[in-house]
Amino acid sequence: MWKWEAQGTPKAVIAIIHSAYEYHYWYMWLIDRLRAQGYEVVMGDLPGHGDAMRRELVHYAKFTQYKVFVQQTLQVAAKEQLPVFVIGQGLGATLVMDALHKTQVEVAGAVLISPWLQLETTPSKLSGALASMSKIAGNMRLNHGITLKDVTTEPHRYENFEDPSIYSTTITVSWYHELQSLMRDMYTVPADEMPDQPMLVMTGGLDRITNTDATRRWLTRQTLTEFQFKRWANSSHNLHMALEREEILRYMTDFFANALRSLGYIVE
């Protein structure tokens, strides 16, 4: 896990949880821009991602490991004695939802970007049947088949991100079964069980990985005092890799600033 210091006096600390198949390097532009605006950033690679992927090239980590990692990331962020925000992308957003729900983590605000609640892109037509047989076929491998063209409308700008030695969408049936279970649990969680904390949910209008209508339905069911939903019409799944990422960043940092003001902080 890594921590990046803010440039100047820090306003808050932001924990970032990336999506499946990604690693922290994908977020360096976002990290640099947040630091420049006075935010400290804490981030690491999910278990089995990043350099760890070089050994296996298949995702089979238990989701309990992911959940522990999210808790650890938030704990490291909390040690800074500053307001804590959390950004979750894709699967990372769903894991953040689980952390907020299960452990009632106290954050100044949460940003959920393209959360995995219902997938449009699935490994194969047999994946559902195989997942139901996970005890028998648990180690069988599937390819989720998510490429940079699915992730961003500007894949040519990020060709070096799809390093074949660490970028793999190969998964086991057991892993996919756990993913389905997490998505189902989060989509159907009773609204009154989610903590009443400021939340910004953003999706891309061109997202081919997730069902963005399902995300909006989930948010409108919640009983939150303060929430925002924004669908960026010309963007795909990873908004920080979108052509309009500067505007998206401003929208997000405005959310942070408003949350800090509500806590009594003076934000310049």
Quote the mean pLDDT of the chain.
92
pLDDT at 136 (0 to 100): 58
Each domain of the chain, given as residue ranges in start order, spans 2-55+63-120+186-262
Residue 120 confidence (pLDDT): 94
> For residue 187, what pLDDT is reported?
97
- Angstrom distances, CA of residue 63 to CA of 3, 37, 82, 234, 259: 24, 33, 29, 32, 30
Residue of higher predicted confidence among 102 and 10: 10
Q: At what angle do helices 91-103 and 173-187 cross, to 10 degrees?
A: 60
- 64: Cβ contacts below 8 Å, ≥ 6 apart: none
Tokens of 19: 């999506």
pLDDT, one tens digit per residue, over 130-186 is 555 555 567 888 999 999 999 999 999 999 998 888 899 999 999 999 999 999 999
Is domain 2-55+63-120+186-262 given the CATH code 3.40.50.1820 in the classification?
yes
Express each pLDDT in 9-50 by its tens digit: 999 999 999 999 999 999 999 999 999 999 999 999 999 998
